[in-house]
Amino acid sequence: MSAARVLGPAGYADFGVALAVSVLVAIVWPASAGSAVVKYVRIAWGGDRPADASAVLRHLLGRLVRFLAVVTPLLWAGSLLVSSGAALAWGLLLMSWGYSLQTFGRGVHLATGQLLREFVLQATCGVLALSALAIIELRDDVGPGVVALVYGGAMSLCGLLTWPRSAPAGGAAPPGVDRFVWLAAVGSLASAGFVQLLVVAGKLRFDDHEAGVLSAAANLASTLTLASAATSMALYPRVSQLVGRADDAGVRRLRRSVFRQLVRYLFWALAAFLVLAPTLVPLVLGEAYREAVEPLSVMALAAVTTTVAAPSVAVMTSGPNRSVARMSGAAWLGMAVGVAVWGLAWLGDLGGIGGVASGFALGTAVTATAAIAWADRVTADRLLPTWLLVLAALALLTSAQALAGRVGWGAPAYVLLAVSMGAWAISRRC
């Protein structure tokens, strides 16, 4: 968020698009390869086949190097074709390399149980990036290209620090590894890539100021998905190992337990964030971004939705490739719904950047609901009715905050707040 303060909304629009593209590059292959490392290494360990786990890591490391070798010249040429300038082009490359190496390295650390090392590396990366941006914040003439270079350099250095040690020879990678990676990548482009598409769409649809505000809101909202990432970090290796042992009852118990814990706490976490958002946004981003409160509040709802669905997504992606394909289909369905909402809002000239955020939240809710419904079938459980009550409570809570911001805490906002609390209370007893 230091970049947002340095550049202002108009300058941040260009940087935000470059950042979105670099994240999309990491999603296309490296992030899904990192998930494959977690899944297949843990399954191999669960089946007492450590040599196969090493083979999986060697195989995917080679694929990562080839992917970066192919995508690098394409990124450079594409960036120059749209007249971004050499500084922004180099910054885009550095950010893409950094995010790609980090997402793959995170998968290796999760698979091998090196959670402390991953935490230390991520904390170091955050401090390094913030320190670099704080230094350039002292200047008044910094443009998007310089910020991208500094941030990309910090991310690339951190990515190199996460590079895994070479795995010992021996064993054989399962034949379905590459298929899993591509299926997961297709789904990730529609789920994790949805927010990046939102940033690009904002740049195409709105002026630089509005696009910068929307981009800053999206990137600040991405920090709210840390709960989802932490849940997946803790849950996915465990679920994969249970799958490797064919422990269906253990998978069901783990999913139900984590789901209920998330429902118990995230309602109040969202309520607290919605109350603090009007003060938090100007404090973190600056007064020029005060308009980001509305889209950020809606995207906070999407972040909570994603987090509550994380146990179900872990169950589906730990299973056979047909389950991964179903999750990919659910992600594309959700994105299609969101894009349709954008189209209707833009045709009617309604909603502005708030309408874009609402489409994103609705699409995310569709994906999460589909994931929970599919996981219910896999685990022979019935969490979907509870989830629908939770979703209604979260949506009503966000609507109450929006009404409070526009008309004050009048009767309609109080009614929605009371109803949302009632729905949440009922869901805890389901």
pLDDT confidence bin for 417, thresholds 50/70/90: low
- Hey, what are 142's tokens? 């910094």
Model confidence at 409, in pLDDT bands (50, 70, 90)? low
Q: What is the pLDDT of residues 73-112, one digit of tens each?
A: 888 887 777 656 778 888 888 888 988 888 888 888 877 7
Torsion over CA: 338, 343, 345, 351 (sign): positive
Average pLDDT over residues 103-129: 78
- pLDDT of 262 over the 80 cut: yes
Closest among 318, 195, 295 to 248, alpha carbons compared: 318
Tell me what percent of the residues of the chain surpass a pLDDT of 70: 79
H helices, E strands: number in the chain: 16, 0
The answer for residues whose C-beta is within 8 angstroms of residue 292's C-beta and 6 or more apart is 213, 214, 216, 217, 220, 281, 285
If pLDDT is split at 50, 70 and 90, which confidence band does 201 have? confident
Select the highest-mean-pLDDT range: 190-199, 200-209, 276-285, 330-339: 330-339
Look over the chain and give the mean of its residue pLDDT values, rounded to a whole number: 78
Instruction: Dump pLDDT digits (tens) for 334-370.
Output: 989 988 888 877 765 666 777 788 888 899 999 999 9
What is the rounded CA–CA span in Å between residue 157 and residue 3? 18
Predicted confidence (pLDDT) at residue 165 exceeds the cutoff of 70: no
Q: What is the pLDDT of residues 272-313, one digit of tens each?
A: 887 788 888 887 777 778 888 888 888 888 888 988 888 898
pLDDT of 170 higher than 60: no
Each residue of 21-69: pLDDT tens digit?
A: 888 888 888 888 888 888 787 777 665 566 667 778 888 888 888 899 9
Report which DSSP code applies to 352: H
The whole-angstrom separation of Cα 210 and Cα 207 is 6
How long, in residues, is the chain? Answer: 430
pLDDT score recorded for residue 10: 65
Are 289 and 213 within 8 A, CB to CB?
Answer: yes
* Token pair in block for residue 30: 């490296």
CA distance 330 to 372: 10
CA distance 312 to 78: 37
**How high is the pLDDT of residue 366?**
93
Res 2: pLDDT = 59
In eight-state DSSP terms, residue 191 is: T
* Amino acid 132: pLDDT: 67
The pLDDT value recorded for residue 173 is 64
Average pLDDT over residues 157-175: 68
Q: Is the pTM of this model over 0.85?
A: no
Which comes out higher in pLDDT, residue 309 or 219?
A: 309
